[in-house]
Amino acid sequence: MSELQQEPTAVQGEGRWLLGDPIADNRAPDSPIGDRWSDRKFTARLVNPANRRKMTAIIVGTGLAGGAAAATLGEAGYHVKSFCYQDSPRRAHSIAAQGGINAAKNYRNDGDSVHRLFYDTVKGGDFRSRESNVHRLAESSLQIIDQCVAQGVPFAREYSGLLDTRSFGGTQVSRTFYARGQTGQQLLLGAYQALERQISAGTVEMHPRTEMLDLIVVDGRARGIVTRSVLTGEIETHLADVVVLCTGGYGNVYYLSTNAKGSNVTAAWRAHKRGALFANPCYTQIHPTCIPVSGEYQSKLTLMSESLRNDGRVWVPKERGDSRPPNDIPEDERDYYLERQYPAFGNLVPRDIASRAAKNMCDAEQGVGPGGLGVYLDFKDAIGRLGRSAVEAKYGNLFEMYQRITGDDPYEVPMRIYPAIHYTMGGLWVDYDLRSTIPGLFVGGEANFSDHGANRLGASALMQGLADGYFVLPTTVADYLADAPFDKVDENHPEVKEAVEATRARIDKLLSANGNRTVDSFHRELGQLVWDHCGMARSKEGLEKALDRLPSLREEFWRDVKIVGTGDGFNQSLEKAGRVADFLELAELMCTDALHREESCGGHFRVEHQTEEGEAQRDDENFSYVAAWEYGNGGRPILHKEDLEFSYVHPSQRSYK
């Protein structure tokens, strides 16, 4: 049991989980919300520059959060060990982000402000996020753009030279800075260059092709990690004074997602099993603008940036089963349903709302394309209004990518899109300082739960990653390290040896199964099960069906999986098997969390809890809390509730009409 938990007080959900003690964030200052971050920075303790060289920080992940944190802490003088399973830090999945990054600069003079960005983010998350963290994110957005411009990130500019912006869903202002459809790539290259500079200076020790397989906890503190070399299979331990996880989200539990194939939950899940609480795992984001599934052979999905909804219009035929080519359907026979249903925001409603609306159209047999699982995203009006060259300047690489994948030219015919799993708002629980419930373990970026509530607004992922990496973690990690020096730990410590032995035993168990099913076949079955019952729509009946099936599927996996090769050397089958084993456990917690939350909010849509108009129906009286789950250690998970308090943005029925 964790230090947060004395004894579970009640059995819940027909015995599927236990109720533990409440949890609270005690790190945020009790100040007016606009002063909290500045007050926290002032009270954070400092480490003498000469002492920083004696302290080691492990940072797992080299995306925007991890790369920025490693570069910043290295430049501050700490000894940093950076880890990624890719062959280079620049291959982190942040590079795939397309549309932009939010910042309340108000260059357009259209009414934007830090408070409006704060308000839009809390509202967009359906009032299930923490006000303190969201306001800090909005404040930090101003510095992020200046930081990135100074690094040479080639943001788009207007003719006058001013940085250009565009709009994203859930807002009525233009606050999204972008570099065509390659914003994530350009931002990551900026962080990567800063990281490489510190590698060259000797402050950062880079470990590519190295996957974290367990967390080392000694005397209650995170003191290191167990890793496996992807190339040689060698198991190693790396020890430090502090560990920071910036390992991304868990969308690949669904098998088909917009995530890179290697994206996984293993680092976070290992930490969870060592005592870190996992918060809101059922909060997963369905992105409305993806290329539809084309066949059973498919292994991932491709995102079409939300920025396309600035100029593209979403529609379906008014008549059910209308199979005519889109250009043959007259204007008066088209249903621009987002513009009809949400006139104030139109095509720029938040992602959860746009996704459900597309699903509803397809469920009503108005979908287009194979199987009727698609809607049109049409640029005919934008091309007529702006000219092809202007549209090409904004979205050219996205249009080219779509044409290469589908064979259709979006300059001539509308794109076909359909919702897909994209981002996860759940993650390891952290306080205002981004500390997990394990002392010495910090969590940044998508790997934590802290900023987005039940639905992330578009263009806010890059903002959070860079805010955590450049500005938050360097302050709060230093405050923690001010308590150093900690007791010396070496590879012979019993808890270090236990973590290594547990890792080796797990690998040996996977290799010894010698069954007759591939890892991918199990992953596909798991993904379909979770998509069907814990995807765009959830129901009590479906979630219980999934929870009844998952334990037996997990048993079948450990008995029947077939992994070719050995653990000594490069073995992608073994890598995938370890990740899928963790997904199988995570999926059960996701479904349990979704079952316990008897309301609809953001991306969590319980069909039993909706308004007459089919919108999400929250239950603020009973569910205005963060659900932070403690690992049950083979038994039932234990729920700890963090009550959410709203003093500056009062919860109301979300409306974008």
Helix residue ranges, H only, 47-178: 49-52, 64-76, 114-124, 131-151
Residue 86 near residue 67, CB atoms below 8 Å: no
> Which of 271, 281, 359, 311 minimizes the C-alpha distance to 537?
359
Q: What is the CA radius of gyration of the chain?
A: 24
How many helices and strands, by DSSP H and E, does the chain display? 18, 22
**How far is 44 from 483, CA to CA, in rounded Å?**
12
* 430, amino acid identity: V
Neighbouring CB atoms inside 10 A of 142's CB total: 15
Q: Tell me the two tokens of residue 631.
A: 């690992």
What residues pair up with 242 in beta bridges, in sequence order? 57
**How far is 409 from 418, CA to CA, in rounded Å?**
18
Element (H, E) at 10: strand 10-12
Do β-strands 334-335 and 284-290 pair in parallel, antiparallel, or remain unpaired? unpaired
**How far is 592 from 525, CA to CA, in rounded Å?**
19
Residue 627 near residue 593, CB atoms below 8 Å: yes
Q: Which of 116, 351, 538, 654 is catalytic?
A: 351
Residues in the chain: 657
**How far is 566 from 186, CA to CA, in rounded Å?**
38
- Phi and psi angles of residue 194, each rounded to the nearest 5 degrees, phi first: -65, -40
Q: Order the strands of the 242-245 sheet from edge to edge.
A: 204-207, 79-83, 56-60, 242-245, 441-443
SS3 43: helix
Helix residue ranges, H only, 109-170: 114-124, 131-151
What residues pair up with 442 in beta bridges, in sequence order? 244, 435
What are the angstrom distances between the C-alpha of 264 and each of 39, 310, 397, 641? 36, 31, 27, 26
Q: Tell me the two tokens of residue 218.
A: 């000694």
Does the active-site annotation cover 456?
no
Q: Tell me the two tokens of residue 331.
A: 């204007």
SS3 546: helix
What 8-state DSSP symbol labels residue 420? E
Residue 208 near residue 89, CB atoms below 8 Å: yes
What 8-state DSSP symbol labels residue 279? E
At a CB cut-off of 8 Å and minimum separation 6, what does 395 contact? 180, 181, 305, 307, 308, 311
Please list the active-site residues: 351
